[in-house]
Amino acid sequence: MSRQEKLSPTVSECGGKTEGCVVLVGTYKGDQLTKWRGWYNYPLSDSDKICEDEAAEITVLWLFNGLKEQKTYKAEFIGIKTRQALIDDYGYPATGKAHGERYLLFKTEHMYCHEGEFDKAVRRVIIRTADFATAPKVRKQLKTYLESPDRQNPDLAKHLPEIITHLRPEQLRVCELAYQMSLCDLPQGKELRSDIPFPAPDKPKFTFIDLFAGIGGFHLAMHELGGKCVFASEWDRAAQQTYEANYGIAPFGDIKKIDEKDIPHHDVLCAGFPCQPFSKAGKQAGFEDETKGTLFFDIERILKYHHTKYIILENVRNLVAHDNGNTWKTIHSHLVELGYRLTPKPLIVSPHYFGVPQLRERVVVLGIHDPDHANSPLEITLPTPKNKSQCNLDAILERENNDPEYRLSEQEIEAINIWDEFYHGIKEKVIGFPIWLDWFTAAPPTDPKEMPEWKQAFVRKNNQLYKNNKVFIDDWLKRHDYLSHLTPTMRKMEWQCGESVSSAWDAFMQFRPSGLRIKRPDCAPALVAIVQVPVIGKYRRRMTVREAARLQSFDDRFIPNPNMHQAYKQFGNAVNVTVIKECAKRLFDHE
């Protein structure tokens, strides 16, 4: 098939009706329409709107982003709803002059992309069109083109998508204006996507929005409490795909590009706003980070407009201490000014507090909109935290998983065996510092005086360890060729088990930049977005994607991203479902 043919599906190919009408649909605020593929209405002007009879003849909806990305949908007209009916039933659409009064509903099937892709699995309900040809010059050009007897004139079509030149005038309708809605907010959507693991409840107890949504840790927590998501936002495309596969909602992209007035009314605002600006692992730029740090102020503008009853925010623990506490003071003062009662300090919570075997302390900010008492502290009491020893890592492990994808490499097995031999050979059994092989040599690589004091302390401890065990270590180094065949990461080791295990193969491990880290097998270390997949010693394999999901309390029905690298990254970025659910319960029960 030629490129020309790919761009030019006939009406009979797409819709099965030779006399059908092609409706040209543009994009909403950049390329958001092609991401949402939501619901659309078709007013051309106040005096010229598509009527019900015309709608029944429409067989194709065509969406495009500029001239580069084009998608064609097979359309089946299924009825009309008034704007008020949509507001009553679903909380949509927002009020405003740009929004029509009657909405045409279409069931659609994705047929073609710009490059001729075909995907039968993609289905949407379309109710309303998007902004197209709003610029006067483009609108005038379209009108000139459609009315011209010489439609093959290249000067007329040079700024228009190529497919227009292959449509008859009577086939083509240009539609303007836009609004968006999630698929599962419509009954037809539920029929189309019966495979969604976590559809919206028929009778929700409350509504919520999910900002910086990732793969929906907040969403799943709210879902388990009976909530219904009415809006989600997430800029990462891979995370959007995972989110949609599980909840039937394709998140809006850049939160900065949505008007707060277009976000539906909601009872709860959930937001795990980006943590990198405040994380110890990053540069800690905080609000100076123009791309991420200022995203808190997008939360602020939404709250200022909607006066949302409850807020649940999550971030790294370092948020409290960042900039000598000024970052938290800024967040606290801004929320109080908006009328929110907050806990005096953010809650510091970890999954292991609730028996989930993961050490991951995070900040959770809870608030209630109560302008008359905004300066009164909100008292939220969590249950007594469990100790690490009360957690059971075995409870989340897949004992029978022998998938070759999770097997260790020969070099990794060798490195673990070599360091296990080292631990058994030295006199010390409690090691409270990292082992750096380079400091066992006669000629150290760097003058310790050039190092910071904390690092000099580790060097001194390594030197002493070597002196205490010189005979064994010299023999061990020689037999293993000074570990020269191993990677730099594998030439370092951190034993963090005390005497609780006698072998590395009984422990929980990670190959990290700081070396092979060996930890007690009661609790897993915090999952992180940087892919350093933990190793389950007794099973001699990496942690599976499902086990990573369980560490973050994601239900086993959850569908991980099919790309393993993305799946680990996404669970590392996610909020823990149990942590959010337990905090939310106490917030909602507060009087």
In the structure, how many helices (H) and strands (E) does the chain have? 19, 19
Taking the CB of residue 451, how many other CB atoms lie within 10 A of it?
Answer: 13
Residues 275, 221: contact at Cβ < 8 Å?
no
The answer to whether the CB of 114 falls within 8 A of the CB of 7 is yes
Sign of the Cα torsion 255, 256, 257, 259 reads positive
Contact between 21 and 58 (Cβ < 8 Å): yes
Which element (helix H / strand E) includes 141? helix 136-147
Half-sphere exposure of 177 (CA within 13 A, CB side): 21
Q: Check 21, 275, 391, 583 and give the catalytic one.
A: 275
Cis omega (within 30 of 0) for bond into 93: yes
Lookup: tokens for 125: 């309900």
Residue type, 220: L
Among residues 298, 315, 326, the alpha carbon closest in space to that of 366 is found at: 315
| 3-state secondary structure (DSSP) of residue 292 | coil
Decide: 286 and 226 in contact? Cβ < 8 Å.
no
Which of 437-447 are b and which e, b meaning 16 or more Cβ less than 10 Å from the residue's Cβ? bebbeeeeeee
Give the side-chain half-sphere CA count within 13 A for 237. 4
Q: 């240009």: which residue's tokens?
A: 174
Using CA atoms, how far apart are residues 86 and 179, in angstroms rounded to an integer? 12
Residues paired with residue 542 on neighbouring β-strands, in sequence order: 535
Cα 416 vs. chain centroid, distance in angstroms?
34
Tokens representing residue 41 in the block: 């209405």
Checking DSSP bridges between strand 541-542 and strand 69-82, what pairing results, if any? unpaired
Q: Of 407, 455, 409, which is closest to residue 433 (Cα–Cα)?
A: 455
The answer to whether 175 is a known catalytic residue is no
Region of 398 (left: φ > 0; alpha: ψ -120 to 50; beta: rest) is: beta
Determine contact, residues 120/128, Cβ cutoff 8 Å.
no
Yes or no: say if 416 and 410 are a contact pair by the CB < 8 Å rule: no
Q: Which of 460, 461, 464, 536 is nearest to 504 (CA)?
A: 536
Contact 265, 87 (CB under 8 A): no
Distance CA 21, CA 50 (A): 11
- Which residues, including other chains, have CB under 8 Å from residue 479's CB and lie 6 or more apart? none
| Catalytic annotation, residues | 275
